[in-house]
Structure 1
Amino acid sequence: MPALPAGIAGQRLAWEACSTEDAGRAGATLRRDADCAWLTVPVDYSAPDGQSIRIRLARVRAAGAQRLGPLVFNPGGPGEAGAAMVAGGVFEATSRVMGRYDLVGFDPRGIGRSAPLKCPQGAGGDLIPRTREQVEAEFKAAAEQGEDCRKAGGALLAHMDTVSVARDLDVLRAALGESRLHYLGISYGTYLGQHYAHLFPGRVGRFVLDGVVDPGTDLTQTARNDVTSLDDSFASYARACAALHCPLGRTPGEIVARTTAFVRDLDAHPVPAPEGGRLTTGLAVQGIRAPLYRSDRWPDLTRALLDAMAGRPGALIGLALEQVQVQAETSEGSEKAGSGGRAPVDPTMARNAVDCLDKPGPRSAAELLADLGEFERTSPLFGATVATAMFHCAAWPLAPTGRAEPLAAPGAPAMVLVSWAVDPATPLSNAETVRGNLGTASLVVRGGTGHSAYASGSDCTDGAVDAFLVGGRLPPPKAECSA
């Protein structure tokens, strides 16, 4: 890889007061102790003297006097704006870590305030395509939206891959004046962290990877794992619901069967919403999926399902749209529909731009049709919706540049991996696989069901991670914590 220009390699950050838009989502309050900066990086690291973009950063300085330096944070996605989450106080580490580290968040390239990708919304349908004609029509719509996104994204679209983001991280490390990077990555942030460690093992400091992604799976296998994780997580929800004499069913099996029958029937008989729109199979699955990430949201899911089954779909639609709304509110480029005569922007396309470059997957309508059948047989509740999500990458105008392969980090210091026992997005088996790839990592397993186990209420989990981040003490090879 060519050497970076001196102006990029030797830059130092000019921290200043954040602006209100740095808080990201609507209603978020800007932290008074946050400051912000810009980092300049090349669009294309193979031609670093060419076009450059600016990456938005936010920092909350350590509260105590005995600082250990910066702890760089990535919240996942891909597509989450980490600078906004820090500046707006949406994420904090534990008080022990916040007392010793400057927490630094960044908006990855193409996301948030970092040269945001502004792809127009597509014309795809909202029903699960099941016939060859429907699949071909959906593939065509995805290809058209991908081409519109290519035109809107310009040169950056071909360089939103995770390897490029990992190289941005190393520019950030140098700009922070650090010889090693201390890093906390959640979900997709663990994939980014593994790429960084693979590329720069000698610059790895204390790394915590929470909700671990397995880089050795392609898009199809990742989707298969997603289906298994979602089924396991919904089974956990159903068991908890039945134990509380849930109105959805007397037993976990009844709850799963009733929910599955209701959801599968929605494409044939969508439930109209009072404000317009309708509840379809895909939208219902999205609404079910969102609260599975946090068990304290399970009562919301029960009420939403009961309402939807009674013809009142508003709450379940609201759950489905939560994440899309967050992505829209944290994106500087999320113009309202029709504003200034422009087509409305699709805030979900930044994630596709990353995923479609990172991993190979199906590239034809015929492959997608076969996958739909396989996935629906495997999981009647979640399978078809998860398989349909592969349409964007199958029809993406740029071929993937990444590979599905294990990532080792020879010579890097041992890391700490964290996982829930049951995770709807990143199964425990991922963390076990990655620990084998890395060779020397410790694994902290939090009992129960959820996604992102650190700094969310488990003294055992937090204690193990904090002892590593603050004192450098590794947990046992596998540490078990209760929920």
Structure 2
Amino acid sequence: MRRRPTLFLLAALVPALLAGCTAGPSQRPAVVENDEPVASAPASTSQAVPLPPLTEPKSPSVQWTDCDQQTRAALDPPAVPDSLKFSCADVLSVLDAPDLPGRAQTHIALLKAGTGPIPLVVLNDIDGEPGTLYAAHLAATLPASVLQRFSLIGMDRRGTGDSDATACVPSDVRGQLLSQDPATTDVETVLDAARKAGQQCAIELGSTQQALDSWRTAGDLDEVRDQLGVPKLNAIARGEASSVLTAYSNRFSTHVGRFVLDGIPDPSSDPATVLGELATAQQATLDAFGKATGQDATSTVTALLGQLRSAPPELSNGVPFAPGVALNAILTGLAAPARWPELAEAIRAAQSGNPTQLAKFVAPMLNGSPLAPSRFDGALATLCNDTATRMPANQIGTLTDKLRAQSPLFGGLVTQRLSWCLPWPGPADGMPSLGVSGLPPVLVTSTATDPVTPASGTNRAAGQMSSAVRVSWQGTGHGAMSSACVGEAVRGFLVDGTVPTDGTLCPA
């Protein structure tokens, strides 16, 4: 993917984690209907507001150029079929910094996969693959009939990928944040690194620091919709990127088309609940990985982290391959079951003293250069701008001790982001509501064992949405699109306008 220089000096523009998901064939029925009531869900308006009709573009202004080879070179594993072809473009959107509303511009990068006549915009987690690259992978996963009707339009969210990517965290500070040992009781060390990161980003970004959030990204989306030439936005968002479509529903409700939210962040305001369930989901995913690879994965990973505490090898960039880096790398791999064989081999190599393979899983977050900025910086800014939660250091320490007792491996990892955001200013705008009325049906999918957006949190979010229709996959990994059953439900929803029965269950 070609890189563009930042348009404005201070506009070098950023929760979640990870990528991928697959599952083996199942002998169970294709779909099971769930007739259990959801007590917390408000009355559905899906019958009152039908799905909007699909409309082909009129007078689009986006200029596409071939970028097939560049895209394939930039993709994370797995590879995509040669039959898919990719083209790229960018649009100008309003940066909309708090002190310069409606002024200054920023580039938003797009990638088109497929040749269907109707645009279907694709967004990914802020710290995962950029939306352009995720769209390329998703195009290889969805039923072929979806690409006959739609072209997938991947969008790099502001501050990420080729969308004027943010690069404001010093490399050594980034390494300190990602290297923090999840077993340590020393909160001050990570807080000190977080302060350095926040200070440097405040200096380099100025007021544009608070322009990196989901609310303003929704404005980018509407600019993309307008330039694509369609009256309604049709879109798929995975994981934390669902927050962008939620913001879009708040700001541009009359432009909402057919939305698929593949996992939604937990809307609960109780960090102990949200992070406790996240650590539990991560441990459950590790257990599933161990079962699939024929090992006691918890013992293996625990032993590896102990080995790294005694003698952490140094990576080529000078960052020690410490327990925090290793566990972040493992978690990235766990989220993508298609990469589990690769992850198992990488763990074995790390046990033998060679961390190179395992480090590749976390390299896009850890490393950065002018041509390939780290995914960490933009993700940190967006994460901290999107949440109002700010806990005092002593409360973070208390919560960490509690969650570490419940989940020895992951309890100390999930609370680290609370420390990362503590020095940052709170959100410049109010958080968007999930309960927007008058929307057409919104398809919400979840995965039973998701280490990034656990199903429990997605269900809580869907319960606050008057138009949500839930399809749950009884599988493992981040996102449900690799399930053939979910893929068929998504196909029917997007292509045929068929709204599934709320509470539909798809077997693993």
Same-fold call, TM > 0.5? yes
Equivalent residue number for residue 149 of structure 2: 100
1:76 is paired with a residue whose SS is: coil
Equivalent residue number for residue 393 of structure 2: 365
Equivalent residue number for residue 355 of structure 1: 383
1:38 is paired with a residue whose SS is: strand
CA distance in 2, matches of 1:359, 1:51: 25
Equivalent residue number for residue 236 of structure 2: 184
Equivalent residue number for residue 168 of structure 1: 220
Is 2:123 aligned against 1:74?
yes
2:237 is paired with a residue whose SS is: strand
Residues 218 and 82 of structure 1: is their aligned pair in 2 closer, same or farther, counting only changes over 3 Å?
A: farther
1:382 CA drift (Å): 1.1
Contact kept? 1:273, 1:312, Cα under 8 Å: no
Question: How much is the aligned-residue C-alpha RMSD, in angstroms?
Answer: 3.2
Superposition pairs for residues 370-389 of structure 1, below 5 Å? 370-389=398-417
Q: Deviations over 1:113-163 (max 9, x none)?
A: 22221214254443428777x432432222122111122223321111111
The structure 1 residue matched to 2:477, chosen from 433, 437, 450, is 450
Q: Number of paired residues? A: 438
Equivalent residue number for residue 170 of structure 2: 121
1:22 CA drift (Å): 6.5
Residues 378 and 35 of structure 1: is their aligned pair in 2 closer, same or farther, counting only changes over 3 Å?
A: same
Q: Deviations over 1:210-231 (max 9, x none)?
A: 1222334466654333212101
Letter in 1 for 2:216: S
Residues 260 and 294 of structure 1: is their aligned pair in 2 closer, same or farther, counting only changes over 3 Å?
A: closer
Task: List runs of 5+ in structure 2 lacking aligned partners.
Answer: 1-58
Contact kept? 2:385, 2:427, Cα under 8 Å: yes
CA distance in 2, matches of 1:27, 1:415: 29
Is 2:112 aligned against 1:59?
yes
CA distance in 2, matches of 1:21, 1:116: 21
Superposition pairs for residues 49-448 of structure 1, below 5 Å? 49-60=102-113, 62-63=115-116, 67=117, 69-78=118-127, 80-86=129-135, 89-92=136-139, 93-124=142-173, 125=176, 126-128=179-181, 134-217=186-269, 222-241=274-293, 246=294, 248-249=295-296, 255-256=297-298, 258-259=299-300, 261-263=302-304, 265-266=306-307, 268-272=309-313, 278-321=320-363, 323-324=364-365, 328=368, 334-335=370-371, 346-396=374-424, 398-401=425-428, 407-448=434-475
Equivalent residue number for residue 340 of structure 1: none
Residues 20 and 280 of structure 1: is their aligned pair in 2 closer, same or farther, counting only changes over 3 Å?
A: same
CA distance in 1, matches of 2:254, 2:98: 20
Residues 316 and 429 of structure 1: is their aligned pair in 2 closer, same or farther, counting only changes over 3 Å?
A: same
Q: Deviations over 1:172-206 (max 9, x none)?
A: 22232322211111112212112212333332111
Letter in 2 for 1:379: S
Contact kept? 2:66, 2:86, Cα under 8 Å: no
Contact kept? 1:191, 1:212, Cα under 8 Å: yes
Residues 298 and 208 of structure 1: is their aligned pair in 2 closer, same or farther, counting only changes over 3 Å?
A: same
Contact kept? 2:61, 2:229, Cα under 8 Å: no
Equivalent residue number for residue 469 of structure 1: 494
Letter in 2 for 1:108: R
CA distance in 2, matches of 1:24, 1:263: 33
1:355 CA drift (Å): 0.6
1:395 is paired with a residue whose SS is: coil
Residues 14 and 414 of structure 1: is their aligned pair in 2 closer, same or farther, counting only changes over 3 Å?
A: closer
Contact kept? 2:446, 2:472, Cα under 8 Å: yes
Contact kept? 1:359, 1:401, Cα under 8 Å: no
> Which of 375-384 and 18-27 deviates more?
18-27
Residues 208 and 127 of structure 1: is their aligned pair in 2 closer, same or farther, counting only changes over 3 Å?
A: closer
Contact kept? 1:216, 1:406, Cα under 8 Å: no
1:15 CA drift (Å): 1.0
Letter in 2 for 1:77: I
CA distance in 1, matches of 2:287, 2:127: 26
Residues 415 and 372 of structure 1: is their aligned pair in 2 closer, same or farther, counting only changes over 3 Å?
A: same
Equivalent residue number for residue 87 of structure 2: 34
Q: Deviations over 1:387-437 (max 9, x none)?
A: 2233221122x2233667751120000111112221111111122212211
Letter in 2 for 1:451: H
1:274 CA drift (Å): 8.3
CA distance in 2, matches of 1:190, 1:301: 27
Q: TM-score, normalised by structure 1?
A: 0.80
1:446 CA drift (Å): 1.8
Contact kept? 1:22, 1:83, Cα under 8 Å: no
Contact kept? 1:185, 1:210, Cα under 8 Å: yes
Letter in 2 for 1:151: I
Contact kept? 1:43, 1:159, Cα under 8 Å: yes
Residues 293 and 371 of structure 1: is their aligned pair in 2 closer, same or farther, counting only changes over 3 Å?
A: same
1:36 CA drift (Å): 1.6
CA distance in 2, matches of 1:131, 1:210: 34
Letter in 1 for 2:345: R
Q: TM-score, normalised by structure 2?
A: 0.77
1:60 CA drift (Å): 3.8
CA distance in 1, matches of 2:74, 2:467: 42
Equivalent residue number for residue 16 of structure 1: 64
CA distance in 2, matches of 1:177, 1:427: 36
